[in-house]
Amino acid sequence: MIRSPLMTVMTDAVMKASRSLKRDFGEIENLQVSRKGPGDFVSAADRKAEKILRESLEKARPDYGFVMEEGGVVEGRDPSHRWHIDPLDGTTNFLHGLPHFALSVGLERDGQIVAGVIYDPAKDELFIAEKGKGAYLNNRRIRVAARNDLADAVIACGLPHIGKGDHGLFLRESSVVMGYAGGMRRWGAAALDLAYVACGRLDAYWERGLNSWDVAAGILMIREAGGFISDADGGSNPMATGSVACGNEVLHRELVKLLKKAKG
């Protein structure tokens, strides 16, 4: 288990915000919900959890900046450090009473993610990683799965929805991948997809149209668990391009190859 001061700050902030989400999840019918766009919801719970996260992290590290889903970019006095915060990844699941959502916090230092926390309140699962110190789930060291044959692999993906994403490209990609994969899944929470690859529950995962707060913590989680991650086209900076493809060394390589084949 990682017991650094930084990890204590991050986990304390996430656990504090999660208590608010748990209460609201128990009363989803009473939430005030507004639309940010077609099929893209934001709730009072989302904003409240982000406020708690920001205040907790600011108290511990007052000079750091923020990149937040709801609050946007806030420049800090320390330009080398930024928190990437998603207070409720899987908002649509949450609002439909589906117990698959998470809080995600990643710390960027000089352009590199150096620490990440992903917490699933419904299942009480805490995924943490710090650069060079490994990745853990509830105090247990985790590793990516060792399967090397796509026919044995379960591969997760993200589905574009109304008003978002390239539907035609996804149909081509999924058609190619399903011809080789043992199974495919779509869970609706990118941070947990990444965490599940890191702990070996999923063998590989790809998605496009993501933001830095969706993937910052998960990128480090994958790498510290011995996995490989790139953007969906094989590029080295998934946070910048807003897409991911990941798995162990072999399956990551094979997945990217299939995605390139689909793209033509």
231 is in an annotated binding site: no
E-only strand ranges, 59-138:
65-68, 72-74, 81-89, 102-109, 112-120, 125-130, 135-137
69 is in an annotated binding site: yes
DSSP letter (8 states) at residue 261: H
88 is in an annotated binding site: yes
Helix (H), strand (E) at residue 214: helix 212-224
With contact defined as beta carbons under 8 Å apart, do 204 and 132 qualify?
Answer: no
The dihedral region occupied by 30, where left means phi > 0, alpha psi between -120 and 50, and beta the remainder, is alpha
C-alpha–C-alpha distance, residues 239 and 111, integer Å: 10
86 is in an annotated binding site: yes
C-alpha–C-alpha distance, residues 153 and 247, integer Å: 10
**One-letter amino acid of 216:** A
The dihedral region occupied by 110, where left means phi > 0, alpha psi between -120 and 50, and beta the remainder, is left
149 is in an annotated binding site: no
Annotated binding residues, as ranges?
A: 69, 86, 88-89, 214
Binding-site residue set for Mg(2+): 69, 86, 88-89, 214
